[in-house]
A = this chain, B = another copy of it.
Amino acid sequence: MAQQLAIGVDLGGTTVKTGLIDSSGTILAQSKLPTLAEVNPAAVVGQIVKSIQEVLPHAGGRPLAGIGIGSPGLIQNPGGIVKSPPNMKDWDVVPLADEIRKVFNVRVEVDNDANVAAVAEAKFGAGKQYPDFLFVIWGTGVGGGIIMNNQIYRGPSGGAGEVGHISIDYNGLLCNCGTKGCVEAYVGQKHLSKRTIEKLKSNPNSKIVEMVGGDLDKLAPMHLSQAAEAGDALATEILTEAGTLMGVMIGSVMSTLDYRVTVIGGGVSAVGDFVYDAIRASVQRNVQKPMREEIRIVRAQLGNDAGIFGAAGMVL
């Protein structure tokens, strides 16, 4: 079969990044335009169309499998409808897939950032050899995507894979969402910073203090990773503890779906193996016995271009 071509659009709050990609994962052309989020939805759609028109000629007349778009906001699928993306002026509900299909008359898929990143790993990254895996994105918060039989599983209305709000303690910390014990309330940036500041009181010599130049208000997860990489015991302890709690949630999802593989990306991809080891050990304690030997916890492989790759991957 000849190489298929697809266009992937990574819609961000400030920039629209678009790429023409073939099914082996080669980027044939790229475009980068301002989103114009501060104008109105029509302007944003206009920029998406323009960015596609910029890369399309590089297809050299070969047929296009379709256009994939990764978007912020709540995505309703089937339908590719984008609801209330943060920081986009006057954007309530926009049928984005329809708007783009009208112009180019090809298949258009729209999905959220976590699902797009999951597809990127499935088609071009750490998940290539696994038809079924859970993808977890661990950064400021916790999101996820479910790859099932080589496809993204979206659920009846597009919301599947939102694993950050699984409770790991029915009587635990109150999450922003109103539920008690969501894993995000334990391993999200806000809680990790709070916990670090608490623990620094009895560990004033930790390298973390140095990393933030003495100003703990500046503390970000990056500083924890850097301190841990530099051998700081407190940073290592905090991240290991967070990995262990993350593993409880991942174990629950893997048991439910009978999955053996989880790919983890986001900010944590920059952290040392010890976090992945902590997650793996915890998952093995938390899944059903017959699965324990087969558990794989894998680091995501795609970085900055995951958005473009995954968006294109949805239609390849």
CB contact under 8 A between A288 and B165, given known A156-B132, A170-B248, A248-B170: yes
Tally of chain A residues near chain B (CB < 8 A): 45
Report yes or no: B252 in contact with A285, Cβ–Cβ below 8 A: no
List residues of chain B with CB within 8 A of the CB of A180. Answer: 285
Report yes or no: B155 in contact with A258, Cβ–Cβ below 8 A: yes
CB contact under 8 A between A156 and B260, given known A167-B248, A170-B248: yes
State the oligomeric state as a number of copies: 2
List residues of chain B with CB within 8 A of the CB of A159. Answer: 255, 258, 288, 290-291
Report yes or no: A156 in contact with B256, Cβ–Cβ below 8 A: no
Instruction: Find residues 248-277 in chain A having any chain B CB closer than 8 Å to their own CB.
Output: 248, 251-253, 255-260
Interface of A: prevailing SS: loop
Comparing A3-11, A38-46, A171-179, the segment that makes contact with chain B is A171-179
A94 to B117, CA, bound (A): 41
Instruction: Find residues 145-201 in chain A having any chain B CB closer than 8 Å to their own CB.
Output: 146, 154-163, 165-172, 177-181
List residues of chain B with CB within 8 A of the CB of A257. Answer: 155, 160
Report yes or no: A74 in contact with B158, Cβ–Cβ below 8 A: no
Question: B167, B255, B287: which contacts A251 (Cβ < 8 A)?
Answer: B167
Question: B155, B169, B178: which contacts A132 (Cβ < 8 A)?
Answer: B155
For residue A131, CB closer than 8 A to chain B, the reply is: yes
For residue A289, CB closer than 8 A to chain B, the reply is: yes
List residues of chain B with CB within 8 A of the CB of A171. Answer: 169
A288 to B286, CA, bound (A): 23
Report yes or no: A258 in contact with B156, Cβ–Cβ below 8 A: yes
Chain A residues in contact with chain B, CB under 8 A?
A: 74, 131-132, 146, 154-163, 165-172, 177-181, 245, 248, 251-253, 255-260, 285-291
A-B pairs, 6 with minimum CB distance: A155-B258, A160-B258, A159-B258, A166-B252, A170-B248, A168-B170
15 other contacts beyond A131-B156, A157-B258, A161-B256, with CB at 8 A cut-off?
A: A155-B259, A159-B255, A159-B291, A160-B258, A161-B258, A162-B255, A162-B288, A163-B255, A165-B288, A167-B251, A167-B252, A169-B172, A169-B181, A170-B245, A179-B287
A–B complex contacts, Cβ < 8 Å, 16 sampled: A131-B156, A132-B155, A146-B256, A156-B258, A156-B260, A159-B258, A159-B290, A160-B257, A162-B288, A166-B252, A166-B255, A169-B169, A169-B172, A178-B289, A179-B287, A252-B252
